[in-house]
Amino acid sequence: AVTEGMKEIQMTLVEALVLVILVVFIFLQGWRATLIPLLAVPVSLVGTFMLFPLFGFSINTLSLFGLVLAIGLVVDDAIVVVEAVEHNIEHGLSPKEATFKAMEEVSGPVIAIAIILAAVFVPTAFIPGITGRLYQQFALTIAISVIISAFNALTLSPALCAMLLKPKVKGSGPLQKFYDWFNRVFGRATDGYVGMCRVAVHKSFFSLLLLIGMVVVTGCFSQVVPSGFLPEEDQGYVYAGIQLPDGASLQRTRDVANQAEKLIMATPGVKFCTSVIGYSMLSQVANTYSAFFFITLEEWAARKKPEDQYGAIKRELTRNLGGLSSAIGFAFSPPAIPGIGTSGGVTFILEDRAGKDLDFLAANVTKFLEAARKKPEIASVSSTFRPTVPQLFVDVDREKVLKQGVNISDVYKTLQSFMGSGFINYFNRFGRQWQVFIQAEGDYRINIENIGQFYVRNSQGGTVPLSALTSVRNISGPEFSMRYNLYRSAQINANAAPGYSSAQAMKALEEAFAESMPSEMGYDYMGMSFQEWQAQQGVSPMVIFAFSLFCVFLILAAQYESWSLPFSVLLGTPIAVAGAFGALLLRGQENNVYAQIGL
């Protein structure tokens, strides 16, 4: 997934560079003038790469994402220099004199632009937690490239202007005709824009109302656009699991897993399937009635059809596995950041904070699941908590053990070897170290009545059957007991419904908790959901944006030596933010970390 993502970003870098070349060439209308800004791109990018080791950065998707956006920024300073030099050449100065005069005019703005752009991005580098790490590489990549670009515009670009730029001579070929047509169209557009600005200046009251309206629209958009943390991405693989009735044997689980494998491999877009019998990825517990599947998908280039896309494959897997009559089957996504949690979606932890018995927790888990399933934001919700797994309880009669002269530890060791296995020792053979375990044959472990065929020695050297020292009874209880923050807990896994974000799903679960749970119960999050919850409780993106704007305001105020002029620059921000939120809304996307980085 990482390699494929890098390839896509590299292709995006090339596409961005081609678009920049095209736009610059059309506006500057000459290969000499076009070459100077374009040389700023490799200089800035290579310079940025050189500083990566100093900050401990690697070339990853976030840093390359920053470089993609930086391509459009690093040419700005050089374009300003070229335009200023060409303007002076058109007024009769030689290229060298025009360059000197241009640098006297634009050095201040070039430096100011670089400082302002760095001031926008640098504050985000000091955000703590995982959100800060996601912001940091992107922000510092752009800030470094912009500063290097400004240094390039003040040094290399003027030298190239003096060497390469010449007075323009109007040609007569087809390219000149295109230039003339473009200049006419662009001139009309410029005149229309200037006319609109003239009206806006004369009708300042209506302009102020329009600005206030855009602020209101931005606020409305921010409430309508769903918020999230990290989007669910196509990482090239997906998880699946099956769960048989409580207490089902490992052999039965293996048979059902074989059926599930056939259904998985028959799903379009699936390449490989690896099965782990007797293990649940969601609870990370080994038992006899669960199985886990690691499903590798076809290469991205081979999955161009809609039915071969990640979301469609996952839905098809869930539908196919749901058809199993002997087990509950489902597909689920891996965590957005590998290593943080075991699955995507929301991982909600229900806690018994009063320390009551198991029945209290079981009853509240059932009540909570019923309330959560009524929420439209929740597509599916389940729990790994299994409170009624059928079990056999072997009760050792200590009085009989003492009367028979048997060591109590020998009884438990023999029970362990019969019901499970016991470690004996290590031995070396063939240049390797091997472990020795003792275990009863499978046929003797099927029936608990065979416990009478196992013996322990007493202090006189005689043998005593285990059946004489123990009694067996059927009980039901949990397969495992989960403790989270020292509380007895139950893990809840939920997936957001289509059109809803993970943040909305988390809020819906919290509402279900408030509606259905008593005061003795509490909740928490785990995995990626915990990181998202911490990000919500930590530094708000609005605080980050406000601090960045404040830094820009101070720099502009120092540059213009005025406290009022910077507002004319900054008041355009709500319009830009409204456009960004509108684009997210139209595309049905959420306001996640990547969208906030872009803003």
Question: Contact at 8 Å (CB) between 229 and 531?
Answer: yes
The pLDDT of residue 329 is above 70: yes
Give CA–CA dist 167/87, Å, rounded. Answer: 10
- Looking at every residue in the chain, the average pLDDT score rounds to 84
**Lowest-confidence segment of 98-102, 393-397, 426-430, 571-575 by average pLDDT:** 571-575
Structure tokens at 317: 């897997």
* β-sheet bridge partners, residue 285: 280
Q: At residue 528, does pLDDT exceed 90?
A: no
CA distance 499 to 573: 28
Q: 90-102: per-residue pLDDT in tens?
A: 888 888 888 888 8
Q: Has residue 65 got a pLDDT over 90?
A: no
Determine the Cα–Cα distance for residues 30 and 170; give it in Å rounded to an integer: 11
% of the chain residues with pLDDT over 90: 14
**Contact 256/242 with Cβ under 8 angstroms?**
yes
Contact 134, 593 (CB under 8 A): yes
List pLDDT tens digits, range 400-456.
Answer: 988 889 999 888 888 888 777 888 899 998 999 999 988 888 777 778 888 888 889
Domains and their CATH numbers in the chain: 1-169 (1.20.1640.10), 233-332 (3.30.70.1430), 389-477 (3.30.2090.10)
| pLDDT at 320 exceeding the cut of 80 | yes
Rounded CA separation 485/76 (Å): 53
For residue 589, which amino acid is it?
Q
Residue 42 has pLDDT above 90, yes or no: no
Assign 271 to helix, strand or coil: strand
pLDDT in tens, 253-290: 999 999 999 999 999 988 999 999 988 888 888 888 89
Residue 2's pLDDT is: 62
pLDDT of residue 372: 92
pTM value is: 0.72
pLDDT-derived band at 194 (thresholds 50, 70, 90) equals: confident
In this predicted structure, which of 12-16, 207-211, 424-428 has the lowest mean pLDDT?
A: 12-16
- Report the amino acid identity of residue 444: Y
Q: How far apart are CA 98 and CA 549, in angstroms?
A: 35
Q: Look up residue 160 and give its two tokens.
A: 């190239």
